[in-house]
């Protein structure tokens, strides 16, 4: 850690409160510098954190945290918050193995009252805490900080609708920076821009006067009505007022001279009901390379502070995401019915290039996965071929829509599930651990997993012509293994696995991107004179039952491998073996899955080693199975 005049003496908010209000901007400047320095060494979510430095300082200076509860939506902007709340000395471990989380985390600090990492949850959780305070006769403040991207999520509206009629005191700070991960999509972004550009940017004097007057017990009903009319005349009315919030703003979120007195008055007010403070900030504030970048350095690798250059691992192999994007573009050139949908992740899902090629056939629906899925279902009813490109961890948010709106109606929505498996530094909140399990339980669903980039191309090719039921193909984060890519005409037969190599006694059924690790394990076993059968299963549903039957009747053991949770591919294979009484003939069956825990962030290599899904663990499992069969034969 660098040496700082003020920050060196600040470990907790109680230390911050000893600083003169006139020096708070200097404290903010030091926090901003320390955030830049730390993230340059670790990588992480830089732009969002830089945008809320002054807000973070003001909140901890005015409110009595952790008694007063401060909730950050998503939590990727919480680095300055962590610096001020006892984690300054650990900030260079952020997102690292055994380090602190890149998001808020209840088990990490009492200053994190609610864990996060998915968006649009802060108002709901804050209202729950506020209601608990009311029931317990506590008068602690509850503050939720939500971005303009996150507030576009449907859950935020549900929470505001509930809060507006509850009349429970809580404070929502809308951090409006014109950016989420990509630029916010939809009418909310336009609405907020209209508010900011209109004649409702209150001066500090007007804002404080209105807060004091409207919160005063002596303020008469007549005067209150006049004040409402005044605010309405200035703003033309606001959505937030209509939802039952007392709306204040917009306010410059980097001006501590405005933030401190406004937050103080809100803190001390006797107003009964929810309050919305709308602040305007700049993502990446104070670091020119972040301010000028298209994504404002939302998520960065390690970088050179002086030049802004990020140290990205170079590979000659394309990423799985790029292979998906390029292949879909090729098909879309030949098929005008192909459309693509993303939920605020056009870059992450590879659909940015698709949207450039086909702007009328690409849809970014904002942070609204539920809507994205049902929107895709609607397109499918009109014989379009929708591809819903959604990270595995985010598709979880739309499971009811997948079941009710897609599966029950057997609509041919095609789910491109990116980030399947463990994802490294983002930790358990972003791990794609459950999609195989929650999709392969659904009738008529086709569930595929790509073992490499060539198989991904074939699965996309195959999905184009699946017109009578939904399907999904999952693929991991990162680059492929460097195999040649097939043409867009090469398809695979639905429900058919692929024999990679033939051996004896033990057969491995691999589902997904652990195939290369399985082959590594097999190569080591060959040196010991052991040759195994390896199958690229390709499908969790429908299973290749004929192939599994053949393996079960010609081998002593079957081992399934997948980078997903219990209840997925292996469970379906085991159920088939049991149903067909194939386990009654002393066939040994084992499954290798992700363990039944949430795995903390680390490098992907270390995470897979911990999960027991690296090549060494696979080799040891195979040896254990073979040796247990030898013992069994001797006993017989």
Active site residues: 283, 369, 397
Q: How far apart are CA 127 and CA 113, in angstroms?
A: 13
Cα dihedral 417→418→423→427 (10° resolution):
-60
Residue 541 tokens, joined: 């549903």
CA distance 436 to 453: 19
Beta bridge partners of 606: none
CA 432 vs CA 391, 418, 545: distances in Å: 7, 8, 26
CB count within 10 Å of CB 485 equals 17
For the record, the structure tokens of 355 come out as 């949207």
| Cross-strand bridge partners of residue 561 | 510, 592
Between the alpha carbon of residue 23 and those of residues 8, 52, 238, the distances in Å are 14, 17, 35
Of 491, 514, 533, the C-alpha closest to 592 is: 514
The pairing of strands 142-147 and 69-72 is parallel
| Phi–psi pair at 388, nearest 5 degrees | -95, 105
Query: Could you tell me how many helices (H) and strands (E) the chain has, helices first?
Result: 25, 17
Q: Are the CB atoms for 622 and 521 separated by under 8 Å?
A: yes
- Any residues with CB less than 8 A from the CB of 25 and at least 6 apart, and which? 54, 256
- Find out whether 238 and 194 touch, Cβ atoms under 8 Å: no
- Bond from prior residue into 379 cis (ω within 30 degrees of 0): no
Query: What number of CA atoms fall less than 13 Å from residue 453's CA on the CB side?
Result: 21
DSSP-derived 3-state class of residue 463: helix
Tokens standing for 264?
Answer: 């103080």
Calculate ∠ Cα 299-394-128, nearest 5°.
95
Q: How far apart are CA 293 and CA 281, in angstroms?
A: 16
In 3D, which of 588, 627, 628, 593 has the Cα closest to residue 611? 593
Alpha-carbon dihedral sign for residues 479, 482, 484, 486: negative
Sheet of 274-280: strands edge to edge?
69-72, 142-147, 170-176, 274-280, 246-252
């Amino acid at each position: 850690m660098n040496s700082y005049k003020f920050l060196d003496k600040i470990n907790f908010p109680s230390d911050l409160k000893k600083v003169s209000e006139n020096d708070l901007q200097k404290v903010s400047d030091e926090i901003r510098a320390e955030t830049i320095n730390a993230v340059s060494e670790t990588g992480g979510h830089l732009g969002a954190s830089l945008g809320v430095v002054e807000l973070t300082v003001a909140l901890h200076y005015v409110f009595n945290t952790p008694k007063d509860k401060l909730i950050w939506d998503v939590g990727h902007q919480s680095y300055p918050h962590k610096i001020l709340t006892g984690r300054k000395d650990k900030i260079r471990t952020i997102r690292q193995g055994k380090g602190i989380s890149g998001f808020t985390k209840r088990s990490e600090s009492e200053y994190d009252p609610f864990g996060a990492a998915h968006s649009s949850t802060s108002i709901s959780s804050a209202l729950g805490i506020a209601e608990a305070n009311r029931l317990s006769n506590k008068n602690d403040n509850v503050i939720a900080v939500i971005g303009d991207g996150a507030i576009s999520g449907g859950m935020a509206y549900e929470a505001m609708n509930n809060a507006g009629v509850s009349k429970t005191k809580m404070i929502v700070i809308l951090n409006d920076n014109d950016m989420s991960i990509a630029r916010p999509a939809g009418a909310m972004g336009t609405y907020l821009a209209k508010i900011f550009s209109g004649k409702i940017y209150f001066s500090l004097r007007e804002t404080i006067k209105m807060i004091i007057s409207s919160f005063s017990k002596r303020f008469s009903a007549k005067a209150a009505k006049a004040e409402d009319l005044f605010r309405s005349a200035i703003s033309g009315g606001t959505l937030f007022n209509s939802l039952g919030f007392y709306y204040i703003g917009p306010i410059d979120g980097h001006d501590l001279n405005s933030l401190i007195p406004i937050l103080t008055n809100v803190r001390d007010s006797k107003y009964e009901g929810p309050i919305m403070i709308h602040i305007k900030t700049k993502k990446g504030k104070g670091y020119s390379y972040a301010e000028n970048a298209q994504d404002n350095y939302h998520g960065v690798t390690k970088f050179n502070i002086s030049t802004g250059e990020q140290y990205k691992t170079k590979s000659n192999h394309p990423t799985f995401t790029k292979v998906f994007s390029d292949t879909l573009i090729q098909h879309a050139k030949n098929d005008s019915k192909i459309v693509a949908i993303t939920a605020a992740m056009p870059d992450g899902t590879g659909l940015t290039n698709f949207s450039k090629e086909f702007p009328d056939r690409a849809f970014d629906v904002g942070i609204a996965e539920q809507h994205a899925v049902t929107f895709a279902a609607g397109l499918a009813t009109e014989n379009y071929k929708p591809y819903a490109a959604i990270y595995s961890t985010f598709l979880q948010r739309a499971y009811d829509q997948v079941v009710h709106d897609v599966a029950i109606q057997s609509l041919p929505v095609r789910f491109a599930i990116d980030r399947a498996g463990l994802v490294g530094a983002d930790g358990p909140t972003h791990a794609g651990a459950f999609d195989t399990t929650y999709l392969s339980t659904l009738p008529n669903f086709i569930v595929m997993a790509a073992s490499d980039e060539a198989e991904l191309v074939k699965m996309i090719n195959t999905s184009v012509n699946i017109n009578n039921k939904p399907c999904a193909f999952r693929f991991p984060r990162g680059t492929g293994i460097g195999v040649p890519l097939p043409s867009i005409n090469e398809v695979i037969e639905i429900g058919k696995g692929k024999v990679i190599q033939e051996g004896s006694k033990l057969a491995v059924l691999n589902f997904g991107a652990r195939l290369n690790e399985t082959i590594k394990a097999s190569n080591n076993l060959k040196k010991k004179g052991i040759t195994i059968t390896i199958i690229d299963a390709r499908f969790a549903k429908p299973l290749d039952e004929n192939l599994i039957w053949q393996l079960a009747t010609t081998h002593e053991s079957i081992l399934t491998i997948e980078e997903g949770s219990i209840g997925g591919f292996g469970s379906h294979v085991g159920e088939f073996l049991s149903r067909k009484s194939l386990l009654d003939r002393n066939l040994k069956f084992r499954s290798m899955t992700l363990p039944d825990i949430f795995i903390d962030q680390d490098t992907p290599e270390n995470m897979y080693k911990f999960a027991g899904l690296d090549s060494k663990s696979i080799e040891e499992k195979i040896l254990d199975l073979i040796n247990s069969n030898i013992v069994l034969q001797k006993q017989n």
